[in-house]
Every structure is written in structure tokens, then in C-alpha cells.
Amino acid sequence: MQNCNSTITYLDTTDFLSTIFHSMSGFQYPAHLFGAYMIIFKTPQGMSSVKWSLLNLHVWSSVLDVYWSTFAIPFVIFPYMAGNGIGVLSMLGLNTGYQVYFSVMIVSVLVATMVRVYENRWFLLSRNRKLWRRIRGYACILNYIISAMFFIPFLFFVPDQMKAVPVVLEKTPCYHLYTQTIPLYVFTLNPIPVLATVALFSVLQISLMSLFVCLTVRVLSIQAKRNTTSQYTVTLHRKFLYALMAQTGLPVIVVFCPLLSLFYLVPMGYHNQMITNFIFISVSLHGFFSTVLLLLVHQPYRLATLRILKCGCMTKNAVRGGTSFK
């Protein structure tokens, strides 16, 4: 076995990762509960048509945070797609391969839920879509099934640990300095097919989201030109669409962009444990950022939050009912 020639810091270790994730739980849990309370009890009647789709999105964003920061706490060794979970599920003895699957599945279902939110917005604005009305339920279920199951085949190709672990340890001689207690688990020795499949799924979902956003903008433009809907209502619809894009898009950009580095680190065979740790920390903040933006960009929730916090900066002429549209 090679000697570890790298300088190992506390930021590379499982102790650091565990401490950060547990600390994050202290502000993530209250934020998620507060966001759910706002959607359930502070959504005005005029936004009732989008209430449950927003709640569904919020729940899955929260599940991602809770799973990664408490139940899984993934400690991953790239570029070899090895490591182990150091959370509650590992303490309970759940196989690491299943933990990997649940991690990917939760993220995938969250992305499918984003698609569902945009589709729902377009469907509510569209008229006379009889064909889509008949098949949209089946299409939604199919997308969720694909999201939940596309990663399952990789579970059948997990290598023999007795043979795979020595291979990774030979290439990662510093592993024993990252942790003294966590055994190494190798999910695959060739991560390229896994990354390619995940990339293909991501492109599909992003394409669907972009399609429904474009269709929604097109419907609003047509309604504005034909005067079939008041200009005020069209403006409200546009504001909500932009707020929704900010709520879902900004966390994806800020949080998931670090994941793009994996498409460089893995093919190049580059290993830096500190970078990997921070990548997973950033992903686990997605739900928190999404909740904060939910409270900031949607006027009814923003005003309700300010009232609860007894903030004196609220405008006196704010409409009590908030945004109103069907």
C-alpha cells in the first residue's frame, strides 16, 4: 500500500462532516416546519390552486435535508464512488448500497416534483386541453416511477467488497487518516456509467421544466394580447411564475452547481476529500435555501412572516389577502 503523502486537515475527516451536518439540523428543522406552517395556514384563498403543489415541493425539499443531514450523512470518496454513511441509518445497520439508492432517489423525486409544479401552473392557465387532461395523471405517475427506479439497476452491480475495497485503499492511502472507525464501502469501481445515467436523467427533467415554463409564458402572452384576462391578473400570474422560478432555480444554481465539478473530478481521477465534503454539505442545504426563498419571494408568506416577527417595516397599504389568482 502507498504511503499518504497529502496534508490531512480536520476538514477532510468524518468528524468534521458529522459535526457540520448535525449543526445544520439545528436551523434546518425549524425552518422546514415554519415553511410548512406558512403554506398550510397562511396561503390566501386566491392561491388555493397552487397550495398543495407548493407543499409537496416543500416536503420533498425538507426530506432531502433531513435525510442527508441526519439519516445518511454521506462520506464519499471520489473519484471512486466509495465511502460510507455515518448517520442514523448506518447505526441501525442498513446496507450502504440502499443508503446510496435512497439518496439518489430523494433528489430525483424532488426534481420530478419541480417538474410537476411547473406543469400544474401551465395546466391551470391553459384552457381546452382535453387530451392533456386525460393523460397528465398517467404522465406524472410515469415520471415519478422513472425518478424512483432508474437508479435501481446499479444495485445489482455492486462489486465484491473483499476485492474492491483493497483496490480503492491502494489508490486512497490517506483513508485511514480520514476516519479510524468507518469501514470503506465501494459502490462501483467504474463511476462513469453512473454519472452518465444521472446526467441523462437531469437533462430530461431540466428539459421538461424548461418546456412547461416556456408554455406558461406563451399562454400568458396570448392572454395579454387577446385581452381574455385582465392585465392585472396576467401580471399576477407572471409575478408568481417568476417567484416560483426564483424559489426553485436559485437553490439549484447555488447548491447543485458544485455537483458539476464531479464531472471533472471523476473522469480526471482527481481526489480531494475536503472538496468532496463541501460538495455534499452544499447539496444538503438545498431545502433550507428553498424555504428561505419561499418566504421571501411570495408576498403572502413574506408579509405573514413579517407579522409573526412583528417587523415594523411592513407597508400599510399591503393587500391583506395577498396574491389572488386561480
Structural domain spans, the chain: 10-308
Helical spans, DSSP H, in 9-79: 14-42, 48-66
Instruction: Give yes or no for residue 151 having a pLDDT over 90.
Output: yes
Name beta bridge partners: 83: 76, 185
Torsion angle of the four alpha carbons 252, 255, 260, 261, in this order, in degrees rounded to the nearest 10: 170
Task: Round the average pLDDT of the chain to a whole number and report it.
Answer: 87
For 165, the 3-state DSSP assignment is helix
**CA atoms of 84 and 64, how far apart (whole Å):** 18
Kindly tell me if the per-residue pLDDT of 310 is higher than 90. Answer: no
Name the nearest CA neighbour of 108 among 206, 254, 249: 206
The CATH code of the domain at 10-308 is 1.20.1070.10
Q: Report the SS3 class of residue 210.
A: helix
Q: What is the pLDDT of residues 163-213, one digit of tens each?
A: 999 999 998 888 989 998 889 999 999 888 998 999 899 999 999 999 999
Helix (H, G, I), strand (E, B) or coil at 153: helix
pLDDT at residue 317 greater than cutoff 50: no
Q: 462489486: which residue's cell?
A: 159
pLDDT of residue 316: 47
pLDDT of residue 171: 87
Between helix 231-251 and helix 96-125 the angle, nearest 10°, is 170
- HSE (CB half, 13 Å, CA atoms) of 231? 1
Percent of the chain beyond pLDDT 70? Answer: 92
pLDDT in tens, 5-39: 677 899 999 999 999 999 999 999 999 999 999 99
| Cα 269 to Cα 129: distance, rounded to the nearest angstrom | 50
Decide if pLDDT at 318 tops 70: no
Question: What ranges in 67-188 are assigned the alpha helix state H?
Answer: 88-91, 96-125, 130-149, 161-171, 175-178
Upstream peptide bond of 166 is cis (omega within 30 degrees of 0): no
* Mean per-residue pLDDT, 279-303: 90
According to DSSP, the residues that pair with 82 across neighbouring strands are 77, 186
Categorize the per-residue pLDDT at 309 as very low, low, confident or very high, splitting at 50, 70 and 90: confident
Report the pLDDT value the prediction gives residue 144, as an integer from 0 to 100. Answer: 97
DSSP single-letter state for residue 160: P
Tell me how far apart the alpha carbons of residues 85 and 177 are, in angstroms, rounded to a whole number.
Answer: 17
Integer Cα distance of 247 and 251 in angstroms: 7
Name which of 325, 322, 305 is nearest 30 in CA terms.
305
Residue 315 has pLDDT above 50, yes or no: no
Which amino acid belongs to residue 322?
G
Find all residues with CB under 8 Å of 234, minimum gap 6, and list them.
Answer: 220, 223, 224
Q: 44-55 pLDDT, tens per residue?
A: 988 888 899 999
pLDDT, position 260: 75
Phi, psi angle pair for 277, to nearest 5°: -60, -45
> What is the pTM for the complete model shown?
0.87
Q: Are 283 and 24 in contact (CB under 8 A)?
A: no
